[in-house]
Copies of this chain bind each other. A is one copy, B any other.
Amino acid sequence: MQIARVCGTVVSTQKEPSLRGVKFLLVQLVDAAGQLTPKYEVVADGVGAGMDEWVLVARGSAARQVEGGEGRPIDAAAIAIIDTVSAENMRLYSKSDEDRLLLPNNARLPN
């Protein structure tokens, strides 16, 4: 699996009938140092991921093993919302830190 950050959405009306109800997220792949890369994937959302969250992306036939994924022509899915990534005994990413860091900005938006 690869680590990716949710950065957008893709909307389609005219599509394979079996894709009705599938939400497509645009996710940006993250490298081993926790940096965002220019690579992206459009994934079916299986976990209710929101903007800026980090997710685990499964590609290939694995994407059809998500709940309700069977028989759908999808080759990538967000299978988990990431809480923490630790490497070399250091915390590379923590969703709770992210939430705290983002709160001031989010709070500012509705005002």
A1-B41, A8-B86, A92-B8 known; A14 and B72 CB under 8 Å?
no
Copies per complex? 5
Cβ of A102 to closest chain B Cβ, rounded Å: 14
A58-B74, A65-B72 known; A85 and B14 CB under 8 Å?
no
Q: How many of chain A's residues touch chain B, expressed as a range?
A: 35 or more
| CB pair B82 A73 closer than 8 Å | no
| CB pair B81 A73 closer than 8 Å | no
**How far does the alpha carbon of A43 sit from the alpha carbon of B56 in the complex, in Å?**
10
Cβ of A63 to closest chain B Cβ, rounded Å: 7
| CB pair B79 A16 closer than 8 Å | yes
A-B contact pairs, 7 of them (CB 8 A): A8-B88, A9-B85, A9-B86, A12-B80, A13-B81, A31-B40, A58-B74
